[in-house]
Amino acid sequence: MKLTTLLASAAVALGLAGGAYADGHEKTKVGFVFVGPIGDGGWTYEHNKGRLAVEEALGDAVETVYVENVAEGPDSERVMTQMALDGADLIFTTSFGYMDPTINIAKKFPDVKFEHATGYKRADNVSTYSARFYEGRAIQGHIAGKMTKSNIIGYIGSYPIPEVIRGINSAFIHAQKVNPDVEFRIVWAYTWFDPAKEADAAKVLIEQGADVVLQHTDSTAPQAAAQEAGNVVTFGQASDMGQYAPFPRVSSIIDDWAPYYIARTKAVMDGTWESTDTWDGIGPGMVGIGEISDAVPADVKEEALAMKAAIADGSYHPFTGPLKKQDGSDWLADGEVADDGTLAGMNFYVEGLTGEIPQ
């Protein structure tokens, strides 16, 4: 008796849910899964700005929800499932480690659209999107190579994934171009967001003589460590981190997700959404270069801005040959430009970098 009641009510509930879906709810619901807190001042902060821009642009037609501090891995599946069950039409999962969970959950909810940032696995209802951060890294590398006096540049890596390795290579190539003696010291933090660990890593690099610290982690802790050291140059990562300008932060890479988020949400509303792979850079405006502060000499600033313009109009590609891999084998011939496939899966250092990529 009890069981039948239960089954009956379950059937009714299912029917109601199905009915609600068939009617089409009035608002388009967009979910965001964030890896850090929205107040991290970096990566997640910018994604959240994109979310707010969607709300502002589309007003009452849209409702957004987000969950912050979601651990990469199985826990994220729970969060995505909950969002899908709560009626989200479109879900942005904004960290590399959500790749497999996104694919798994997308299979279970074929009517929900998913967008995974920085990954490479797609499905009929899963798009991927990323920004060509390496274009910004090239400009950082140029400034860093010019600014360093000790010729030691510290680099705080998060995880050894293609996106991060691409950034290291791009920065190194352009630092070496203007300063052949430059040396990169790389510390892997194995976290996207852990202020204490990031601060420690920055301090260690500074103690080892680095007077420029680049970071590929999300918090502003390395900026604070550099500020305390006094004579160390840093760059804002993912967000402007302008509170540390004009020094130590002399420039930054800013991710601007707002136009993309608005366009994709509109596509869901119009029914024109399709699974795509978007990879935009400085040209389309997905990657911004934060104001280069006066701590940078005027001529260096000019060169950096010229490079930015050349990258934006497509006349210069940061990975242009001749380039060799770390082991000395040829990668790109003179004038040859790296193809997107190689870049997307980049798992090697270019010649001149020391150390090994953790496997």
Partner 1 sequence: MDLSVINPILLIAALMSAATPILLAATGELVVERAGVLNLGVEGMMILGAICGFAIAVETGSPLTGFLAAAAGGALLSLLFALLTQVALANQVASGLALTLFGLGLSALLGQGYVGVKPPRMPDINFGFLTDIPITGPILFSHDPVLYFGLLLVAAVWATLKFTRVGLILRAVGENHDAAHALGYKVVRIRTLAIMFGGACAGMGGAYISLIRVPQWTEGMTAGVGWIALALVVFASWKPWRVLLGAYLFGGITQLQLNLQGAGVAIPVEYLAMSPYIITIVVLVILSADKSAAPGSLGRTFHASH
For partner 1, the binding residue among 11, 17, 180, 190 (CB under 8 A) is 190
How many whole angstroms separate alpha carbon 151 and alpha carbon 120? 35
User: DSSP secondary-structure letter at 69?
Assistant: S
For partner 1, the binding residue among 82, 243, 276, 347 (CB under 8 A) is 243
Q: 355 — alpha (psi -120 to 50), left (phi > 0) or beta? A: left
How many whole angstroms separate alpha carbon 285 and alpha carbon 277? 17
Region from 37-45, 77-85, 106-114, 273-281 binding partner 1, contact rule CB under 8 A: 37-45
Q: Give yes or no for a contact between 144 and 173, defined as CB atoms under 8 angstroms apart.
A: no
Shortest Å distance, C-beta 63 to partner 1: 22
Region 139-158 residues binding partner 1, contact defined as CB under 8 A: 154
Residue 354 binds to partner 1 (criterion: CB under 8 A)? yes
Total number of residues that touch partner 1 (CB under 8 A): 37
Shortest Å distance, C-beta 73 to partner 1: 16
How many whole angstroms separate alpha carbon 339 and alpha carbon 277? 15
Residue 200 binds to partner 1 (criterion: CB under 8 A)? yes
Residue 246 binds to partner 1 (criterion: CB under 8 A)? no
User: DSSP secondary-structure letter at 70?
Assistant: P
- Per the DSSP assignment, residues forming a β-bridge with 129 are 117, 278
Q: Give yes or no for a contact between 43 and 36, defined as CB atoms under 8 angstroms apart.
A: yes
Region 258-317 residues binding partner 1, contact defined as CB under 8 A: none
For partner 1, the binding residue among 92, 133, 188, 260 (CB under 8 A) is 188
Q: Give yes or no for a contact between 184 and 156, defined as CB atoms under 8 angstroms apart.
A: no
Shortest Å distance, C-beta 293 to partner 1: 17
φ and ψ at 46, to 5 degrees?
A: -70, -40
Shortest Å distance, C-beta 153 to partner 1: 11
Which one, of 276, 273, 269, lies nearest residue 29 by Cα?
Answer: 269
Shortest Å distance, C-beta 12 to partner 1: 36
How many whole angstroms separate alpha carbon 321 and alpha carbon 335? 5
- Cβ distance to partner 1 smaller for residue 36 or 50: 36
Residue 221 binds to partner 1 (criterion: CB under 8 A)? yes
Residue 61, CA atoms < 13 Å, CB-side half-sphere: 11
Residue 201 binds to partner 1 (criterion: CB under 8 A)? yes
Query: Residues 54-73: x/- map of binding to partner 1 (CB under 8 A)?
Result: ---------------x----
Which one, of 108, 107, 71, 76, lies nearest residue 92 by Cα?
Answer: 76
Shortest Å distance, C-beta 121 to partner 1: 24
Chain contacts with partner 1 (rule: CB under 8 A): 37, 39-41, 69, 154, 160, 185-188, 190, 193-197, 199-201, 203-205, 207-209, 219-221, 224, 228, 243, 354-356, 358-359
